[in-house]
Each structure stands twice: as structure tokens, then as C-alpha cells.
Chains A and B, each alone.
Chain A
Amino acid sequence: MKVVVEQNQCRGCRVCELACSYYSFGEFNPKRSRIKVVKLEHAGEDIPVVCVQCGKCIGQCPLDALKMNENGWIVVDEGKCIGCGQCVEFCPLGAITLDPKTAFASVCDVCAGDPKCVRYCPAGALTIDTRVKPNLIAQRTRARYARRSLGRETEAAAEA
């Protein structure tokens, strides 16, 4: 399951950031939002960026703090996360960040199946893809298995 962005629909209002921070943390603070609108002001372009639940970050975590649950979204185990930022550096979209308040990894959890950014977007730029991808999950599991067998240093290669 994931939030899907229709780029040409976005009008750049950042309501998604407000909804995300409020429903995730109980406060209005776009810096804590897990969806972020990149504004290319001179070009007049607004591009929302949010996790596509590809799971590539999972294998990067040295402490196994990230996993993909059975519904198909990534969850962070804050008991294990030490905020090292390895996942942040690896994410191809910049969609996972360290929360400015807790310093733990922070990534879209699709609001547990009811993403508020989608509900509040006034431009129809965000939709939800409810398909769980079991084969993708299996692929991740295989990758983790392989990584353990081969040792961490080659995990990127194993994932790829």
C-alpha cells in the first residue's frame, strides 16, 4: 500500500504536510511531515515527494529497525533505531528522514491504511494504491536472508 502522487495536479499549498504532521504527531509542523512538497519556484513547479514503499532502505539499516509489515508499508522500530541516518542517505527519493524532534527515522506509514494527506489534498494530487505486493515482500525477505548469509558489506549488491 502506498500514496501515489499525480505531479501535474499539485498546486503547491502544502496542506499534505500539515495533515501529515498533525495526524502523525499532534502538531502542525511541516518539518516533521513525512510527505514534502518540493517547490521549484522559478519554474512554478510543485512536486510532492513521499515514500513509495520500495523497501530499499530496509536492508540498509545496521540494526534491523526497519521492516515492511504484512500490509505493505514500512514501519520503524524506535526501540532499535539509533538515528544513524544510513537509510536517509540511501533512499533514492529522499523520502525517509530523521525526525527533527526525536532524531529517529521517520517515513510514511500510510497512516496505517488511511493516509490523511490523501484525504486533505484539495487538488486531487494524491491517491492511495491499496494493492499489497506479496511478491515484493517475499523479495525483501529473500534479500534479507541472502544478506545474512553473505554478510552486511555486500547487502547493496544482494538487494540489487
Chain B
Amino acid sequence: MLGLCGWAGTILRVDLTIGKVSKVPIDPGLARRFIGGRGMNSEILRQETAPGIDPLGPDNLLIFGTGPLTGTISPSSGRYTVTAKSPLTGILGDANSGGFWAPELKYAGYDQIVISGRANKPVYMWIDDEQVEIKDASDLAGKDTWETADIIKEHLGDDGIQVTCIGPAGERLVRFASIINNLSRAAGRTGVGAVMGSKNLKAVAVRGSKAVKIADPKAFERAVEDSLKLVYNASNYETYRNLGTTCLVTILNEQGAIGYKNCQAGTWEKAHEISGETLLQKYVVRHKGCFGCRIQCSRYYEVPKGEYAGTAGEGPEYANLQALGASCANSDLASILYANNLANKLGLDAITAGVTIAWAMECYEKGIISKRDTGGIELEWGDSHLIVALLEMIAEREGFGNVLAEGPLRAAEKLGGQEYVVHVKGMPIHQDQRTRKGCALAHATSSRGGDHLRGIPIIEQFANIPPNAHQTLYGISEVGHAYSTVGKAQLVIWNEHLCAVADSLEICKFATAWNMPLTGPRFGDFAKLLSAATGVSMNETEIVRAGERIVNTERLFNVREGIARKDDKLPKRFTEEAAPSGPGKGQRITPEDLETMLDEYYKTRGWRLSDGIPTEEKLRELELTGCSPKAG
């Protein structure tokens, strides 16, 4: 029964060392407990890797996972997650991407690809329905992601083939290399591209002609209609449809939450020069959407004149404008668009790249890094040409780029300036979190290190929240203002579960109550979609429980790799330096604030207060097996 509807039913397992491909039926219990995508990936990574493995060695797994709704008409459901132990952080690594690759994998008949080992020469995978081949990729070595996809499509003689691949950065094991599909869709963070490079795997090309079937069509149509209404009626729907995430430059600058000059300040007088509104007015020529999406937040831009004339591409997201712009004090928008394309072509995570450069600029200003370290390069704030040049040097591991390619923490171990690396658990942060206590907590607890996509409570940035909204929306009686710690632990937990479920269904979080807090689809809506699509009946409580299980299995993976309460910390910039400007001037996250919120967070989660490790009781309750949490 299971495997016929919603889920495709088959997992591809590939051992690149011996070149063996096998097709394994999906484990119904695993699918039910972890839904798909991120959840199933994380559990497989935890169960099938040994503690302490080298993330860039053959023992690491590289897992591509789609969701049970992927390939259906369910709103914004065409995403996939790539999971591996991260070479950047040494803990759980994953990255999520949209575009058109994931549904194609479903149509070929597969939910997941689990890749182990290492090929002895560059290869790529070609999946054509049942036919799966590991093909020679010698002629693709060194090609950027755009060339790689073009060449593969030409070789195989079909423009409709979907390709996800790495660029030079992944091949050269840059610790924050990304995986790119459809030119600009990035599985960006945690260095999954370097893991792909370490396996000598250049690309995965897919063509599928099979169906994704629905167990209960009438119920599914109703559930889709209901979810669509919730998306269309959201107060920020039109803004997102028009500007995408780039609307956040203006919004966050007004709130004092951008990350100007490596998060030294939350406001920037030149923010409007790189804002979504400016981008729309000067360079956007049309709007774009990912597969099956109704928000369609993406934009295609063209730079008509000037130094970067001819630059054309899709995006960028807010985070890229932030990291390649505000973080480095670079207000030349055309240069950011050029750098955004360049990062996509090279296969670099634009966020980590931008923030790493911003860190180096700050260290140079403070005299920690000198021209002797940089090989003569002057790291001046706002130097757009330098940013472009450094992206190339990082991807090619050339000169000073080779130092930065290791990520800011490792670079700081070598050159100093550790206290200026704005990160949690080795994952760099691009955005000022001092003025929003809940968002800060979510960065401290995120299972892939400092990151905004795991559970920040976006409602904290909403100005006019109806009275009693927190009770109605989250069942939390009291939630304080952004500067208050009250209720924030519960609020973050609710959002962490929602993000875990959305990432495992592989629906876009923008089309959920995470991004549309007041009206967007939430657990009950997901339960209806999932049950109708798969025929496996799940209610709201069970879906929430699945989200909790996913967060816990990820915590267990990290605990196994040495993570505990001691690591759920925030960078000094947020805890010791008060915000110098903006409406939140004077705010910081005091150590007491963080400890108070963490106590409440662990207590609510059923994790030990002493070390933040899940209790045996909690693990039994969640039916999590195969774990041996160390005694605290």
C-alpha cells in the first residue's frame, strides 16, 4: 500500500566506491515517523554513519531527499533537502533547494538518493526512470554549474532533463560549497557541495516520466483548495509575490536587524540602495516561480548598463543582498547581482562567502589581518571589486582565498580574530539578532548551527499582532515583546516543529504559518494534505509529534558529535555589544536572557537542563531508537 501514493516508494542507494546502484523499497515505518525530505535524511544519516567520521571522507553519506507532496499540485511543494555531516561545522549539515529538480526525481520513481563511498575519478549520475548509470565526468572537471548543466543536457540530447551539480568550489572542497540546480537554485548552506566534491560526484541528472499518485483525490483536492486560500489570504502574500525575500532589506533595516559590517550594526543609511524596491525598479524584468508555487517570489534581473552590463539571472534572496551587500558595506547593487551570479556559477554559498569576507574586512580594519596575510590585498569595507575577486579566489583556493575557503572559524584559528566570527556552532550568521530574543534563541538551538531557517519566530517582527493571537495561534498564554524573553522558548519550539515538518514534506516555508504567521497553513493543514496524498492517516497531533521527532533525532546526531548545552551559545557580538543604532538601540542578548530561555526551552522539550541532552523518557515517547546519549 505504502509507496504507491504520495511517496514514490523507492530509495536509490549508490556506493560510488564500487560503482554499485541498488533500489530499495521505502521503509514504511521510517516514512511515517519522519515524513520524507529533511526528516528521513537526518534519521538515515544518524543511523548509518559512525560517530566522528571525516565529513570529506568516503564514510560520510550524501543524501538527496524529496517529500511525499513533491511533484503534486499542493502549494509550493517541489523542494528537496541535501543532507550530510557538515565539513564546515562538523555537525548535522543540510541545505534545501527549490526549482525543478526534485519533482523530476519523483517522476523518475524515487523519493531519496543515499550516496556513500567515493568514486576514483569524476563521475555524474544519470537517472532516466528505471535506468540509472554512473557516467564519466572527466570533461566536466572545473566547469561551472551553468556550463555543467548545459553540457550534460547536450550530451544526453534533452533540454528537459533536470540537473543538480557542483561548481569549482565543490570540486576544490571549499567548506561552504553549494549544490546548484536551474542556474540559481541553491542547496546552499553547511558545505554539502564540498561533500559532493569529496565523493568525486559532479552532478545528478534526472528525467522521469512516471506519475505521483494520490490516495484520496477528492480529499486531496479539498485540502489543496483550503491551503491555497490560506496562502492567498495572507497579509504579506502580495509583498512576497512582488519582492520575494528582498522586501526584508527595508523591513529589517527599519527594525534594526540587518547585519551591517559583519553585524556591527542593525541599521545602515545606504540600505535603500540595495533594497528589494530598488532592485525591482532598476533591474527586475520579470517575475518567476519554482515548481508548483503560487507565491512565485523569484525575480529575473538584467543589468542594462555600466560596469556589470549584461549581468542577468534569477534572485537574489534577501540573505544574498545582505551578505554580499550590507555585511561588507557594499552598496553597489549591480555588483551584488554580478556576485550573486558568480557565487551560483562557482557553487559557493553566497551567505557564508559574504559573511566570511565581511569578517576578514573587520579584522583588517582592526589590524588583526595585515597585507602580509592577504598577499598584498587591502581589505577595505565596501570594495565591490574585491568581493568579486575574492569569490573567485575562494572557489579556486588561490592565495588568500585558500584561507577563507576553510570558513571564518578555521581562518580565525590561523590568523586570529575569533571573537569577530559571528556564528553558532561554526555556522556563520549574516543578520543582527540582538533586538529579537526569540530569533536569537532559535539561532542558538538550530540543529545546523547559526541559521534563520530552522525556527525563528517571524511573528516577532510583526507590528500589529491581534490581542490574544499567541493563545489562538500557538496555545501560549503569554508572549512578550521582541525585547522580552517571556514565552520565547515555547514560540521557538512551535516554529522549529513547523519548519521540520515543512522541510520534510518539502514544501516551501514561505507558504506556511512560519512566514505567514497569522493565516498561513499549519500542522492541521499539513495533516490533511499528507493523509489525502498518501493514504496514511495522520492527524494534527501526530504531525506535530513527527516534527518533534525530527528535531530530536537531529539533536541526537549532534550530541553524538559532542554538542551539548555548552554549545547552544550566541556570538559575543550579540551578547556583549549593545545595538548601537535603530529602534532597538542599547539592546543585546544578555547571558542571563539566554540562560533563562534555554532553561525553559530544555524543560519544555524534555531535555536535561544540565547538558541539553534529550532524556531517555522523551526518546521513548518519540519512539526514537538506536541512541545512546552520553550521561551528563
- A contact set with B: CB distance below 8 Å: 8, 11-15, 18-19, 21-22, 25-32, 39, 41-44, 46, 100, 120, 122-123
Whole-angstrom distance between the Cβ of B60 and the nearest chain A Cβ:
31
Contact among A28, A32, A41 for B182, CB-based, below 8 A? A41
Given A18-B73, A28-B71, decide whether A12 and B288 contact each other with a Cβ distance below 8 A.
yes
Chain A residues with Cβ under 8 A from B211's Cβ?
Answer: 21, 25, 27-29, 32
Chain A residues with Cβ under 8 A from B312's Cβ?
Answer: 43-44
Cα separation A31 to B146 with both chains bound (whole Å): 24
Interface residue count on the B side (C-beta < 8 Å):
32
Apart from A27-B213, A122-B296, what are 14 other A-B pairs with CB-CB below 8 Å?
Answer: A13-B293, A14-B292, A15-B293, A18-B72, A18-B73, A18-B292, A27-B214, A28-B212, A30-B107, A31-B107, A31-B208, A32-B211, A122-B293, A123-B296
Q: Is residue B217 contacting chain A, with contact meaning CB distance below 8 A?
A: yes
Cα separation A21 to B217 with both chains bound (whole Å): 13
Q: Is the CB of B289 within 8 A of A13?
A: yes
Closest 10 CB pairs of A and B: A27-B211, A44-B300, A13-B289, A29-B211, A11-B289, A18-B73, A122-B294, A31-B209, A28-B212, A11-B296
Chain A residues with Cβ under 8 A from B73's Cβ?
Answer: 15, 18-19, 22, 28, 120
Q: Is the CB of B288 within 8 A of A29?
A: no
Residue in chain A with minimal CB distance to B285: A44
Chain B residues with Cβ under 8 A from A14's Cβ?
Answer: 100, 291-292
Chosen A-B contacts, 14 in total, with CB atoms closer than 8 Å, are A13-B291, A13-B294, A14-B100, A14-B292, A15-B292, A22-B73, A27-B213, A28-B214, A29-B211, A39-B100, A44-B285, A44-B313, A122-B294, A122-B296
Residue in chain B with minimal CB distance to A36: B160
Whole-angstrom distance between the Cβ of B351 and the nearest chain A Cβ:
23
Residue in chain B with minimal CB distance to A121: B294
Per-residue contact bits, chain B 62-106, to A (CB 8 Å; 1 contact, 0 not): 000000000111000000000000000000000000001001000
Cα separation A123 to B313 with both chains bound (whole Å): 20
- B contact set with A: CB distance below 8 Å: 71-73, 100, 103, 107, 146, 182-183, 208-214, 217, 285-294, 296, 300, 312-314
Cα separation A79 to B184 with both chains bound (whole Å): 46
* Max chain B C-beta neighbours (<10 A), residue from A8, A30, A42: A30
Chain B residues with Cβ under 8 A from A12's Cβ?
Answer: 288-289
Cα separation A123 to B293 with both chains bound (whole Å): 10
Chain B residues with Cβ under 8 A from A122's Cβ?
Answer: 289, 293-294, 296
Chain B residues with Cβ under 8 A from A41's Cβ?
Answer: 182-183
Cα separation A27 to B8 with both chains bound (whole Å): 13
Q: Is the CB of A44 within 8 A of B288?
A: yes
Residue in chain B with minimal CB distance to A27: B211
Chain B residues with Cβ under 8 A from A44's Cβ?
Answer: 285-286, 288, 300, 312-314
Contact among B183, B212, B289 for A29, CB-based, below 8 A? B212
* Max chain B C-beta neighbours (<10 A), residue from A18, A25, A26, A120: A18
Contact among B209, B292, B313 for A13, CB-based, below 8 A? B292
Residue in chain B with minimal CB distance to A100: B209
Whole-angstrom distance between the Cβ of A21 and the nearest chain B Cβ:
8
Cα separation A120 to B146 with both chains bound (whole Å): 31
Cα separation A123 to B146 with both chains bound (whole Å): 27
Chain B residues with Cβ under 8 A from A32's Cβ?
Answer: 211
Whole-angstrom distance between the Cβ of B224 and the nearest chain A Cβ:
10
Cα separation A120 to B224 with both chains bound (whole Å): 11
Whole-angstrom distance between the Cβ of A74 and the nearest chain B Cβ:
24
Residue in chain B with minimal CB distance to A8: B286
Q: Is the CB of B288 within 8 A of A46?
A: yes
Chain A residues with Cβ under 8 A from B107's Cβ?
Answer: 29-31
Cα separation A133 to B483 with both chains bound (whole Å): 67
Given A28-B212, A123-B296, decide whether A42 and B290 contact each other with a Cβ distance below 8 A.
no
Q: Is the CB of A13 within 8 A of B213?
A: no
Contact among A13, A29, A42, A120 for B296, CB-based, below 8 A? A13
Residue in chain A with minimal CB distance to B287: A11
Whole-angstrom distance between the Cβ of B327 and the nearest chain A Cβ:
27
Cα separation A122 to B213 with both chains bound (whole Å): 23
Chain B residues with Cβ under 8 A from A43's Cβ?
Answer: 312
Q: Is the CB of B289 within 8 A of A123?
A: yes
Chain B residues with Cβ under 8 A from A8's Cβ?
Answer: 286
Whole-angstrom distance between the Cβ of A52 and the nearest chain B Cβ:
22
Chain A residues with Cβ under 8 A from B285's Cβ?
Answer: 44
Q: Is the CB of B217 within 8 A of A26?
A: yes
Q: Is the CB of B291 within 8 A of A29?
A: no
Cα separation A108 to B531 with both chains bound (whole Å): 31
Whole-angstrom distance between the Cβ of A47 and the nearest chain B Cβ:
12
Chain B residues with Cβ under 8 A from A19's Cβ?
Answer: 73
Residue in chain A with minimal CB distance to B153: A41
Whole-angstrom distance between the Cβ of B568 and the nearest chain A Cβ:
39
Cα separation A46 to B289 with both chains bound (whole Å): 10
